[in-house]
Amino acid sequence: MHKKVVPCRAWKHSGFTLIELLVVIAIVAILAAILFPVFARARENARRASCASNLRQLGLAIMQYTQDYDEYYPRSSASGAYYWTWTIWPYIKSSQVFLCPSAPDNPATLDASRTSTDLIRGVRYCMNNSSFGSAATAAGYPAPQKLSTIPRPAELIMLMDSQLYTPSNTSYYCDVDNNTSTAPRHSEGLNVTFADGHVKWVKQEFYLYSLSKAQTLPRWRFWEQK
């Protein structure tokens, strides 16, 4: 008896066509275009939160200083050991707190010694010079501001993000007439520490002021309260 031989079917090999591959690549590219900005914003939000934490610590250090020195604030700019950065150093003791994680030009290190200018030109936060160092005493140093003389400390700018120090710009103090010394590097805004110590992110329009630009509220509300 003979067995019937059944011929084997040829295996059919399946794969992706060129059109299918192009469709997959297009979908991946679209997803990447959607997700990458989201990741970038998430990273910036994390850096902004870290910056706000730095300014919060600096604000607390200044408030501790005012309690130790009869409610007088440190001077924004002076000479020798009277700069605000050096004045509050005993309350901070960490140079990294003076650096903003979003600043592209952070120095590698900051020298906290009294013989170095690093804590003046290397910091990435500035103090409001219009209210905390504009007037000078007989000795030539700015007169310190007192907490009791500020009617609305929760509205007065004390510290904020600053730009890199250059011969025509400063990094450790800023004032109402020198808008170029501040840096809106956090989503078109910056972090601000107010005179009562609290920190808030604000848009660039909040602090900008010049004679050629009208501002809804008078400048003294944020920069000067006299």
Residue 10 lies in a domain: no
Residue 1 lies in a domain: no
By residue range, what is the domain housing residue 66? 18-221
Query: pLDDT digit string (tens) for 157-174?
Result: 999 998 877 666 678 888
User: Please, which residues have CB within 8 angstroms of residue 170's CB and are 6 or more apart in sequence?
Assistant: 77, 126, 162, 178, 181
199-203, strands of its sheet edge to edge: 173-174, 125-128, 157-161, 189-194, 199-203
Query: pLDDT digit string (tens) for 125-151?
Result: 999 888 888 655 555 566 788 898 898
The answer to whether 24 and 159 are in contact (CB under 8 A) is: no
**How far lies 116's CA from each of 38, 110, 119, 154, in Å?**
41, 9, 7, 33
Q: How far is 158 from 141, CA to CA, in rounded Å?
A: 19
Q: pTM for the full model?
A: 0.77
Closest CA to 104 of 189, 44, 179: 44
Residue 201 lies in a domain: yes
Residue 76 lies in a domain: yes
The answer to whether 86 and 122 are in contact (CB under 8 A) is: no
How many domains is the chain built from?
A: 1
Q: Which segments within the chain are labelled E, that is strand?
A: 125-128, 157-161, 173-174, 189-194, 199-203
What confidence score (pLDDT) does residue 81 get? 66
Confidence of residue 197 (pLDDT cuts 50, 70, 90): very high
